[in-house]
Amino acid sequence: MSFSSAFLSLIMAVIEEVEICFPQLLNASCRKPVQNRAETIFLHVLLSCISVLTVILNLLVIISISHFRQLHTPTNLLLLSLAVSDFFVGLVLMPIQILQTGGCWFLGTVICGMFYYSSFILTSASVGNMVLISVDRYVAICDPLCYCSKVTVRRVQLCVGLCWACSVFYNGVILIDFLKHPDKYNSCYGECVVIISFITGAVDVLVTFVGPVTVIIVLYMRVFVVAVSQARAMRSHVTSVTQQRSVCVTKKSERKAARTLGIVVFVFLICFCPYFYPSFAGQDMSTSLDFSIFAVWLLYCNSCLNPVVYALFYPWFRRSMKLIATLQIVQPDSCNANIL
């Protein structure tokens, strides 16, 4: 055997022992992380199920609100906007992220830039829609007499449009350098990484996390306090016979309101805190492989939980799901069905 053949055999043995993303680029290609095959398969199946579930749940919300005329209300328009952003998270971002869990990026630098830009836009729009929903509920509970005049379909459409436009512009400013050079932070071929500096990350965490969380918590706590005070006022004006029954109903309503509002805030915090932890810790925020598997996927899971938190609590959603599942929506005048 010649020296060149022996050297080539040695190289191939090394490649087989240490897998790389692009074998034709030995010195420039990224190495694949060592992964257990069974664990990798299980992870891909689990994440694929989450992606499919996210798409199905949000698609049901989109079809329900878009098809049935009784659901064409300002509040449901906000739910529709939220469902659209979460739908594309499950349809586009999650499948691409599943491919990236293998340790290599095969889609090129242009798709790399568009992927992170789309990810930032969709998550920001989702947060913005959640804030708008909290504002809508605040006005509905705290100022019910003026709700119809203050919250109209046209104003909600304008707010939703501004939410999406601001998300596109804001994230474009944050990622402007990265979008110009998507491979700027890549150390080797087969990698797709974006790094946000400490200053930019600090601003982003205030705009995308601290600000929305503060607004949501303050408004929902105000809603809860007003709802409890109204229930107590009504309870104080009933007769002694009805009062005992009203006490039980009121306490049950208070517990249900507290549980629902607690779920909203708790889910949002749990899903977003790990993603913004590097900014709180004073580190550069990097969406590398190890970080994305935990923090980014937990962030994406919020898109799967949103239709559960915001829609499954509504009886009309369960009725509309039944009509969709039984294909009754294809019947004439099904859009006029009474599902409220």
Q: What is the band of 13 on the pLDDT scale with cuts at 50, 70, 90?
A: very low
Residue-range definition of the domain harbouring residue 184: 10-308
Query: Tens digits of per-residue pLDDT, 58-72?
Result: 999 899 899 888 888
Q: Which of 213, 214, 219 is nearest to 138 (CA)?
A: 219
Q: Which of 6, 64, 103 is nearest to 329 (CA)?
A: 64
Residue 218 lies in a domain: yes
The bridge status of strand 195-196 relative to strand 285-286 is antiparallel
Separation between Cα atoms, residue 52 and residue 59, nearest integer Å: 10
Helices (H) and strands (E) in the chain, counts: 14, 2
Separation between Cα atoms, residue 84 and residue 287, nearest integer Å: 24
> What is residue 187's DSSP assignment?
S
Residue 246 lies in a domain: yes
Number of domains present in the structure of the chain:
1
Residue 207 lies in a domain: yes
pLDDT of residue 144: 80
Q: Which of 162, 171, 169, 265 is nearest to 215 (CA)?
A: 265
Residue 153 lies in a domain: yes
Q: How many CB atoms lie within 10 A of CB 197?
A: 12
The domain that contains 175 carries what CATH number? 1.20.1070.10
pLDDT at 169 over 70: yes
> What is residue 103's DSSP assignment?
S
pLDDT at 241 over 70: no
Residue 184 lies in a domain: yes
Query: Tens digits of per-residue pLDDT, 120-134?
Result: 999 899 889 989 988
pLDDT of residue 23: 65
HSE at residue 161, side-chain half, CA atoms within 13 A, is 6
Q: What is the mean pLDDT of the chain?
A: 78
Residue 333 lies in a domain: no
Q: How far from the centroid of its chain's Cα atoms is residue 80's Cα?
A: 14
Do 175 and 117 contact (CB within 8 A), yes or no?
yes
Residue 316 lies in a domain: no
Residue 53 lies in a domain: yes
Token output for 62: 């989109």
Q: What is the band of 162 on the pLDDT scale with cuts at 50, 70, 90?
A: very high
Estimate the share of the chain in helix, then strand, then coil, as percent rounded to the nearest 5. 75, 0, 20
160 or 317: whose pLDDT is higher? Answer: 160
